Structure 1
Amino acid sequence: MVRTAEEVVAEAVRELSPDTAANRFVPLVAEGKAPREAVAAFALEQHHIITSDRRSFHQLALRSTADPSVVPFFDALAQGETVALERLGSLTAACGLDDAAVRAYEPRAGCQAYPAYAAWLALHAEPADVVIALAVNFAAWGDYCATMRDALREHYGFDAEACGFFDFFAEPDPKAAEQCLSAVRSGLDAGRVTERLAHRYGRLLQAYELMFWNTLAGL
């Protein structure tokens, strides 16, 4: 029986859903116990992550020309990273950081493992498989951003503008969800999806994201 894109994505999300209890940083922020320096480090690390991921998504779009329905998914992600980078400026400013501080910051290896692996996927993985892996990862990322947004307002005094970065990722995007399914559907029709590999990529992305959060928790 041929599986649908909806079934493939739903199974990946179900099987690879992260152990949220393993994330040590988000609960600290939710309780107002994370130091402001760690919140600032989050913003500084994101400057490097977003610029890297934007290039990775552009590369995946370029490699997806054989599957026209896959290209809009990665193009939209790259455009979204541009919006996120713009909103990140208000967060770094709320942390008391200026442009010089952003430029001078030296990123931590544990925080940059995720974008490094995303760049590897952009060069080596089948784009349709990457779509599935990212669908798994984005589901967890959105929940974390919602928690961070609410906690920074309640415990740290950040205003709506400062939390705009988290707002961007926290709310479900029906258009993005449909683009994801369309891309997976195209990949399935073309025989380009290997679910075993897609799950591997998703599992590793989840692990590297957890490394990001727990590196911050150690500050």
Structure 2
Amino acid sequence: MARTAEDVLADAIRQLAPDAAANPLVPLLASGEAPREAVAAFALEQHHIIDGDRRSFLHLAERASDGRPAAAAFFTGLAQGESLALEELGALTAACGLDEEAVQAYEPRAGCQAYPAYVAWLALGAGPADVVVALTANFAAWGGYCAAVGRALREHYGFDDRACGFFDFFAEPDPAVGEAALAAVREGLADGGLREPPAHRYGRLLQEYELMFWKTLAG
């Protein structure tokens, strides 16, 4: 029986899910034990990550525009989402007591920026459908982390709903993004552009770079 797009994405999410104990910072935030400085560092690093990822998604959309319209639409939607996320990030940054001068003066850490650097590497040469699969698996883990952090900031750190909007934005799966991913994977299956071994390799590395981000913040 031929594999469906639903099968491909479900398998990637299941097989590439990180160990529940692999992230050292989220449990500390959930218990209120992490310092507020870690939240501020998160916000500052995200200013760099979002800008880099948005550019990478736009490049992927451009690469896919010649013959892979579903993949192009998926990446265009992600780039638009990054712009919205950046707007939400402003309230978190302000709640951390950071102004624009602090944002501009901040020097990002290599361990936190490895993830967007790898996304940029994928944008340069990886198959668009393969990247869709890898990102979808990573987004599942990222969304869970954001949901946990959003709850923690409300319960233990006194952040209001506006300040937690960045985390709420990513916490729940976006049905439109999910449908766009399925369409892109169907397209890849139909035209032979999807190769699951590389897609899973990309996804595994994305998950590892994701964990590197959290470990770096945890110190």
Superposed CA offset, 1:29-80 (max 9, x none): 0001111111100000000000000000000000101111111110110000
Deviation at residue 197 of structure 1 after TM alignment:
0.1
- TM-score (norm. length: structure 1): 0.98
Aligned to 2:7: 7
Deviation at residue 173 of structure 1 after TM alignment:
1.2
Q: Residues 110-149 of structure 1: matches in 2 within 5 Å?
A: 110-149=111-150
Deviation at residue 20 of structure 1 after TM alignment:
2.1
Bigger drift between 9-18 and 77-86 goes to: 9-18
Q: Residues 40-119 of structure 1: matches in 2 within 5 Å?
A: 40-65=40-65, 66-119=67-120
Separation in 1, partners of 2:177, 2:62: 19
Superposed CA offset, 1:79-104 (max 9, x none): 00000001100000000000000000
Aligned to 1:32: 32
Q: Residues 199-210 of structure 1: matches in 2 within 5 Å?
A: 199-210=200-211
Q: Which runs of 4+ in 1 moved over 3 A?
A: none
Separation in 2, partners of 1:149, 1:133: 24
Separation in 2, partners of 1:213, 1:101: 21
Deviation at residue 2 of structure 1 after TM alignment:
1.7
Deviation at residue 174 of structure 1 after TM alignment:
1.1
Separation in 2, partners of 1:127, 1:20: 29
Separation in 2, partners of 1:181, 1:127: 13
Separation in 2, partners of 1:129, 1:37: 36
Percent identity, aligned pairs only? 71
When the two chains are superposed, the root-mean-square deviation of aligned CA atoms in Å is 0.6
- TM-score (norm. length: structure 2): 0.98
Q: Which amino acid is the alignment partner of residue 129 of structure 1?
A: D
Structure 1 runs not aligned, ≥5 long: none
SS at match of 2:37: helix
The number of residue pairs the alignment matches comes to 218
